[in-house]
Amino acid sequence: MSVVDISTLAATAVNRQKDFKMLPYEVLAYVLGVHGINLLPGVQYKDTITDFLRKQGIMQPYVMGTLNNSNVGKAQEMTLEVKPAYASVKDNIQNYLTTIIGPDVLLGKNKTKKHPWEVTMISSIVKTFAEDILDCLFQGERDDSAVTPLDAFDGFDTKIDDFITAGAITGGKNNYVPTGTFAAPANESDFNAYNQVLEFYRSANSMLKGKPSLLYLPTAIADMYDDAHFNKFRNKPTSDEYGRTEVTGSGGRCKIVRSNIMGTGQRIILTVPGNFDFGMDTLGDEAFVQVRNPYEDPNYVQFWLQGKYGTRIRSIHEKVFQVNEGAAVGVQLSGDYS
């Protein structure tokens, strides 16, 4: 007979199912919102959108007896494919032999045999799982043979790299604009980082500059911009309620997103809100967190989470998207220790 009664732990996972299912969204929602990224639930395998690109310059002078035909445009498909990912956490109750919990409330010893941190355990696992998703959002590259969060699904940077390799993002298409390397100001008269950001923005297609836009900067580059801005104007950039600073010189149309999840590289991205999608399967029908005790050693309890996730860039056309030549460098920020 098992000396560990996980019935209350399993019941917690069931009774609090609604709360725990929403926890990943609560972790993701703010970051996705600040980045202007769409959340698409209910993607079971693939979700494909078709963007119709209109051919430029179909009008011409009419001359009787002359008739030239031209194409209206072409269709371009962008697909979001979700890939399965999971977390299997095996927890030994002997980890809680601490004075804080006390010997009388340990699993297998106390009368109720209730897990001392049952809600904390499940909440922490789900929160870390959601933070792992954020780590993968830009830097992820699916690798079925690997075991880290960054291997779970292809992130936005991986898709950008693929587009560059395929020749879909190039200087000739005006969606690839070099900036040079960003560096922290060397002295109080150095405002190169500010000039680089502004020049990158001003190099964009006039249609992109005429729309509200977001400029994704890794946090380190955003700090360089702020310091260079202060050197040039002797004041800090204007910020909105989400901490997004305004690109001075954009007429208030472009906001800088200071992004930890972009990593520590030199890649910056200019796009319109809503051009990036994050898709996941439903949080509805199946149990999001499963709690089991299947081991020969009854001190072990297993927590199991599983879902499907993927990303998509809706359009890489110069009127809505632009990237520089900088390389992306990923980081893992989830949890509190490695």
Least confident of 83-87, 186-190, 240-244: 240-244
pLDDT at 280 over 60: yes
Within-domain flag for 337: no
Q: What is the pLDDT of residue 96?
A: 63
In terms of residue numbers, what domain contains 281? Answer: 7-51+75-323
The answer to whether 71 touches 47, Cβ cutoff 8 Å, is no
Structure tokens at 228: 């260079």
The answer to whether 84 touches 281, Cβ cutoff 8 Å, is no
Within-domain flag for 224: yes
Q: Confidence class of residue 288 from pLDDT cuts 50, 70 and 90?
A: low
pLDDT at 61 over 50: yes
3-state secondary structure the chain: CCCCCCHHHHHHHHHCHHHHHHHHHHHHHHHHHHCCEEEECCCCCEEEEEEEEECCCCCCCCCCCCCCCCCCEEEEEEEEECEEEEEEEEEEHHHHCCCCCCHHHCCCCCCCCCCCCHHHHHHHHHHHHHHHHHHHHHHCCCCCCCCCHHHCCCCHHHHHHHHHHHCCCCHHHCCECCCCCCCCCCCCCCCHHHHHHHHHHHCCCHHHHCCCEEEEEEHHHHHHHHHHHHHHHCCCCCECCCCCEECCCCCCCEEEEEECCCCCCCCCEEECCCCEEEEECCCCCCCCEEEECCCCCCCEEEEEEEEEEEEEECCCCCCCEEECCCCCCCCCCCCCCC
pLDDT at 26 over 60: yes
Q: What is the pLDDT of residue 326?
A: 97
- Partners of 291 in the β-ladder: 303
Within-domain flag for 67: no
Measured N-to-C along each axis, helices 219-233 and 192-202 cross at an angle, to the nearest 10 degrees, of 110
Q: What is the pLDDT of residue 325?
A: 98
Q: Confidence class of residue 140 from pLDDT cuts 50, 70 and 90?
A: very high
Q: What's the pLDDT tens digit per position in 203-232?
A: 999 999 999 999 999 999 999 999 999 999
Mean predicted confidence (pLDDT) in 127-136: 92
The answer to whether 108 touches 116, Cβ cutoff 8 Å, is no
Q: What's the pLDDT tens digit per position in 235-260?
A: 988 888 888 899 999 999 999 999 99
Within-domain flag for 275: yes
Q: What's the pLDDT tens digit per position in 260-276?
A: 999 999 999 999 999 99
Mean pLDDT of the chain: 85
Q: Confidence class of residue 87 from pLDDT cuts 50, 70 and 90?
A: confident
pLDDT at 1 over 50: no
Q: What is the pLDDT of residue 283?
A: 56
Within-domain flag for 281: yes
Within-domain flag for 333: no
Within-domain flag for 57: no
Angle at 86 between CA 37 and CA 18, to 5 degrees: 70
Number of structural domains found in the chain: 1
In the chain, the percentage of residues whose pLDDT exceeds 70 is 86
Query: Which residue in this structure is represented by tokens 């949080």?
Result: 283
In the chain, the percentage of residues whose pLDDT exceeds 90 is 50
pLDDT at 286 over 90: no
CA proximity to 72, closest of 55, 53, 51: 55
Measured distance CA(338)–CA(334) in Å, rounded: 9
Q: What is the pLDDT of residue 201?
A: 98
Within-domain flag for 41: yes
Query: Which residue in this structure is represented by tokens 């909105």?
Result: 240
**Could you tell me which residue, 136 or 14, shows the higher pLDDT?**
136
Task: Provide φ and ψ at 186, rounded to 5°.
Answer: -80, -25
